[in-house]
Amino acid sequence: MVRQQPGPGSDESELSLWLDEVDKSMSFRPASALGMSCGTVTIDPHRAMVLAIWNNRLKLYQLPKGRRNLNESMLAAALRETYEETGLHVTPLQLDIATRATPPKSTESDTSKKPPNITEGHPSNEHVGACLYPDPQSETEALKIVYFFAATAECTDTPDSGTQEEWEKLDAKWIPLSEVSSTLRFRAEVQTVMKVIDDMKKSGYTIGA
């Protein structure tokens, strides 16, 4: 772990040591070794239900997600993949998400100071987080990064048919929030759902009747 950046008044040797630590911790991966996927945690707040998919090939429940297309935004990819895998049009949720994105500037902004590391208090459609793991489906070594976005839909909505690729064997399923931890196969995806629920409550949403 790289120690904190030296402050004003630090001598050159201290700054040089810090830069050496940054250099040692930094790594490069070509685009071909990075798989970017995007998905949603879609909630029916009133009924406290979470949208998932049953993967008939792998025999497990997981969140809807898929690879981003060239020149496609991450949020657009997440909404498209959710529709393709579930047949449901979902609506992105603006939430007060703690993020490292730079806060918007205003006429009152103090440009003499650096923006804070963590931005809060600005409702947005930023991703709530990401799951990282070696891509098990890649023929070459690759790190997969799945960015998840919060969305909403009603579990009574009728899904469109014929939205999946021919090779996909997926069934859209709504899971009670109370059963998410025992139903979703991957712990990181359970953590993602819980993060969305926390952010929804922080943003003033009521979950359940």
Q: Which amino acid is at 204?
A: G
Domains of the chain: total: 1
Calpha distance 208→54 (Å, rounded): 24
The residues, ordered by sequence, that sit 6+ positions from 49 with a Cβ below 8 Å of its Cβ are 43, 155, 174, 175, 176, 177
Residue 12: the pLDDT is 82
Cβ neighbours, 10 Å, residue 122: 13
Q: For 81-106, how does the pLDDT look when each residue is reduced to its tens digit (9 = 90+)?
A: 999 999 999 999 999 999 999 888 87
Residue 87: the pLDDT is 96
| Rounded average pLDDT over 28-46 | 96
- Residue 62 parent element (H or E): strand 60-62
The boundaries of the domain holding residue 77 are 40-103+116-202
CATH assignment at residue 56: 3.90.79.10
Q: Considering the domain boundaries, does residue 111 fall inside one?
A: no
The pair phi, psi for residue 50, each rounded to 5°, is -120, 135
Q: Considering the domain boundaries, does residue 188 fall inside one?
A: yes
Q: Considering the domain boundaries, does residue 31 fall inside one?
A: no
Lowest mean pLDDT, pick from 70-79, 116-125, 161-170:
161-170
Calpha distance 150→78 (Å, rounded): 10
Q: Considering the domain boundaries, does residue 52 fall inside one?
A: yes
Q: For 121-156, how does the pLDDT look when each residue is reduced to its tens digit (9 = 90+)?
A: 999 999 999 999 999 888 889 999 999 999 999 999
Q: Considering the domain boundaries, does residue 195 fall inside one?
A: yes
Residue 104: the pLDDT is 82
The residues, ordered by sequence, that sit 6+ positions from 92 with a Cβ below 8 Å of its Cβ are 40, 75, 79, 125, 149, 150, 151
**In the predicted model, is pLDDT for residue 31 greater than 80?**
yes
Q: Name beta bridge partners: 144.
A: 35, 133
**In the predicted model, is pLDDT for residue 176 greater than 80?**
yes
What's the pLDDT band for 36 if we cut at 50, 70, 90? very high
Q: Considering the domain boundaries, does residue 149 fall inside one?
A: yes
